[in-house]
Structure formats: structure tokens, C-alpha cells
Amino acid sequence: MNIHEHQAKEILKEFKAPVSNGIVIYSKDEIEDKISILKGKQYVLKAQIHAGGRGKAGGVKLIKNVSDLVSEAKKMMGKILITHQTGPEGKEVKRLYVEEASDILKEFYLSCLIDRESSKIAFISSTEGGMDIEKVAEETPNKIITTKIDLKSEGPSKEEIENIISIFNFDESQNNVASKLVQSLYKILIEKDASLIEINPLIITKENKIICLDAKMNFDDNAIFRRPEILKLRDLNEEESAEIEASKHDLAYIKLNGTIGCMVNGAGLAMATMDIIKLYGQEPANFLDVGGGASKEKVTAAFKLILADKNVKGILINIFGGIMRCDVLASGVVEAAKQVNLSVPLVVRLAGTNYKEGKEILDKSNLKILSAADLNDAAKKIVEAIK
């Protein structure tokens, strides 16, 4: 789960990390009253959307006086921002964040995340703040330090912290602040079940103060049930409506840009199914894993989700029955197809538990369903069908 920058900064403040004073605005009517709280001479106006590249799209502006700030805030509220992460449709700005501007001397990069490969917590620090860290890693890897540490209750050791911040070449006073910041990020990661915390840029001002100028946080969806305070930060305006609906039925669904809808049980099989669709020259419209023990109702909800996507020209269902019984899947598909008046080609490949019973249910349904012998056959048939 993602949250907005202003929410991430509130969490940073809670854990004693250095953050500029700022206010969040939810409507044009609030602008003038809320801005009066700030005391800076210059301000930074930021659109709050769940996407990077806001600055290049006109979503981050340095403002030199209050009258211009009010004017620019009114223009930005409701604007559609198109960045490299939003897609061509862009995202509407429904909230703004205004903070007192900082006089920047130098920019750095600092993040921590769960490193799944090593089962450790990785801190990434770099002298190249304000830039895309993937680009820095590719072009100037010597400007990045990655420090992987074991999960422990007392947090990173003094030596580990020194290694994390060594690339910054701070003075003693700055090192003390940076050390406490590293400890704060570690605590947030553990105590809030965050999967990523990124400070980009981390800055030093001309007054030699360290400030987290921008902040991004992601949280583990699987741990949200024990973090109600984090769940409250969820902004449904920033999520696909289909993905919101999928979460209600405990379905793992991600909308994509293709034309062939996929319903599969198991993440690995789902990835393989999408790969073979691409192999035959088409693009998947979604990732959808119905899980190992899906009920008839869950399968029906999944089927409706796929068909709600107007780009879908055909559907490929690929089920390998283990805990998931093929007859249950077939019953759900038949029920959903009748409810929505199925009008696109449907190819079904069943294997495993009760696949014969499942095939019989599909054959007797009087629906136009193409059966496939294996995954390769299924991919060929759905690609040909939509042509």
C-alpha cells in the first residue's frame, strides 16, 4: 500500500526525523486559511498523487510570495498530471502539500527496504540526491553504498550506521543527526510494517541543517490487518476501481494494458500464462490470481472483474487444480458468464483435481467455451479467437 508524501512526513515527524513545516490542502476553499499558518519567506507547492516525476509534469513549484501561492494552488488543485508513472490518462490532483522552502546546499539519497533475496534490511545511501536511483546505479555505481543488516530488536549497530552514512562525508554534528535518522527509518520499517522508505532528496541547508525534503513510503499489504493506523491513510482515489473491488474479495488483481483477460490460480502460473500470451503476439489485460481455495462466489467475482475492463477482447482461464477444485471453478465461470451475458471468446484449460467434472460442467453449460489440452494450446486458441 502506498501513501502520500505529506502522510509519510507525518510518520517521520512521529519518529523524530527532521522535516520541514508544511500543511495539506484538500479543497480550494481551504487554501487561504491554511497557508496563513506557514511562516516561511518562500514556499514549495506539491501535488499529492501516487506517482513519481511530479516536478517535470508541473506538480512541484517554488513560490516566492503568498499571493502567488494562493493563485498557483488554485490552478494546481484539480489539474490532471501526466508523468512517466501515471500513464497517458494521468491523475487528477485532489490534495496539495505546501511547505516552507529550504535553502539547499547539497542533496543526498537515503532509503531502506526489505531485501527479499537476502532476507535482510537494505539501506541504500548515495551522494546523488534528487535523481532516479536506478539511473545512478547504472551510470555511476561508485556513488552508491548498499548496507544489508540482519533483523534485530536493537536496530543497526554503530558500525553499520557509520557505513550507511559514510558516503555523505558529514561533519560530527551532521553525523549525529544522520545516525538518529537511520535509527528512525529502521524503527518505522519494523513498527509500521513498511516495505520501503525513501528519502529523496535528503538535504543539507545553507544553515547546515539536515532535512528530509521528500519522502515515499510503501507498506506490506499482508500486514495491514495489524496496522489500522496505516490503513486509515489509504487513498482510494489513487487506486484502480477494479483493484479496490478485487481487494474486497481477497483477489490478487493488477490491471494491465492488454486485450486478453487472465484468470489463474497461483502467482507463478499466472506469470507463466502472461508470458505465453506475449509469446504468441498479444498482451495480457491483467494479472489475476484467484488463490488456492477459491469459492464459487470468488470465481464469479473474478470473472466479472475481468469483463469490467472494456479493453478485454478474450479471456484465458488456466487452472491447475490442487486445493482449488476444477469443478468449483467451472461452476463459478458458468454462473458469472450467464450473469454478464458473455460476448467475448473464452478459452479454458483445466488440469488436476476434478478436472473431468469441471470439463463436464463447462460442456453442458451451452456457453461458447473453447477447451484446451494444455497451456500452449490454450494460448494459441485465445490469440486466434480474438483475431
Which residues are known to be catalytic? Answer: 109, 198
Grid cell listed for 255: 490491471
Grid cell listed for 383: 490469440
Residue 266: what are its φ and ψ, rounded to 5°?
Answer: 105, 130
Grid cell listed for 86: 501515471
- Cα–Cα distance, 66 to 36 (Å, whole number): 8
